[in-house]
Amino acid sequence: MNTTNMDARGTRKARGRPRNWNDTTEQNTIKSLDRAMYVFEFLSEEQGKALSTISEEMGQSPATIYRILVTLQGHGLVEFDNEEQLWHIGPQAFVIGARFLRRTSIVERARPILRKLMENTGETANIGIEKEGFVLFLTQVETHANIRAFFPPGTLSPFHASGIGKALLASMDPERLDRTLRRSGLPAFTDHTITDRSTLLADLEAIRQRGYSIDDEEKNVGMRCIAAPVYDMNGEAVAGISVSGPTSRIRTEEIARLSRPVMQAANELTTVIGGRVPTSGI
């Protein structure tokens, strides 16, 4: 018997979760905590909400919502603006999020690479990963130019209307790609958003061939993005690196030139984290 998990009395030590850890029935959930987390997530989606708004949109009584908010406020997770009478996400939420990012060494490794990419292109450099059907932006190095793209850490962006998102989609196997597209759909954000599945699939094939993706005003009018995937040790795309900027600077004729440092940065980060680019390309 393996005794590494036994204490001095010969009894098995707890390893962080009970034996029936995969039981998600009501007896293993704390309803009040569950409700509080729903309020916290709801507030995080759009900064600055009045108590009455939260109560109405969540279908809970103002008294219940208020008790939850005050409890979260006590831990610094939310804060109240007395002047505007609005509730906001608090600073402790950022602290906890930063701890998550520190756990993911890819962020620490990516920073100097993103900084160099920004200097080489003159545009804001970003890194993002997949998060429940969206692209989660982890960090960025902003350009010094006055007009710039801005994706605060924690920003979520739809796959099909994001440079990083399309780079990750192009790296998926057919089954996973189909599952992802069926779950997220193809909603329109601008007149340039690809909302037709066959058109998107053709775009993804072009991305595989050239090694980089383009968000051509598909999420925000007047902004372009060029992205390439980052791979782990198994040759699976786990993140994407991109540069973003206004169409006045990232002109169509500049895309091919700017794509080279983007792909170089993605390959460099792949190497730094011990990954490998699959032989079949993106």
Are residues 164 and 34 both part of a single domain?
no
Is the residue at 12 inside a domain? no
Q: What is the mean pLDDT of the chain?
A: 87
Place of tokens 């600073």: 91
Helix (H, G, I), strand (E, B) or coil at 60: coil
Q: Which residues of the chain have pLDDT under 50?
A: 1-5, 7-9, 11-12, 21
Residue pair 226/91 in contact by the 8 Å Cβ criterion = no
- The predicted-structure confidence for 100-157, as pLDDT tens digits, reads as follows 655 557 888 899 999 999 999 999 999 999 988 899 999 999 998 877 777 778 888 9
Are residues 110 and 249 both part of a single domain?
yes
Are residues 134 and 267 both part of a single domain?
yes
Show the domain range for 55. 26-94
**For residue 145, what is the domain's CATH number?**
3.30.450.40
From 72, 94, 116, give the residue that closes a domain: 94
Query: Any idea how long the chain is?
Result: 282
Q: What is the DSSP string of 169-225?
A: HHTS-HHHHHHHHHHH----SSTT----HHHHHHHHHHHHHHS-EEEESSSSTTEEE
- The predicted-structure confidence for 139-152, as pLDDT tens digits, reads as follows 999 998 877 777 77
Is the residue at 16 inside a domain? no
Residue pair 195/168 in contact by the 8 Å Cβ criterion = no
Are residues 211 and 90 both part of a single domain?
no
Number of domains in the chain: 2
- For the entire predicted model, the pTM comes to 0.67
Structure tokens at 144: 């010094």
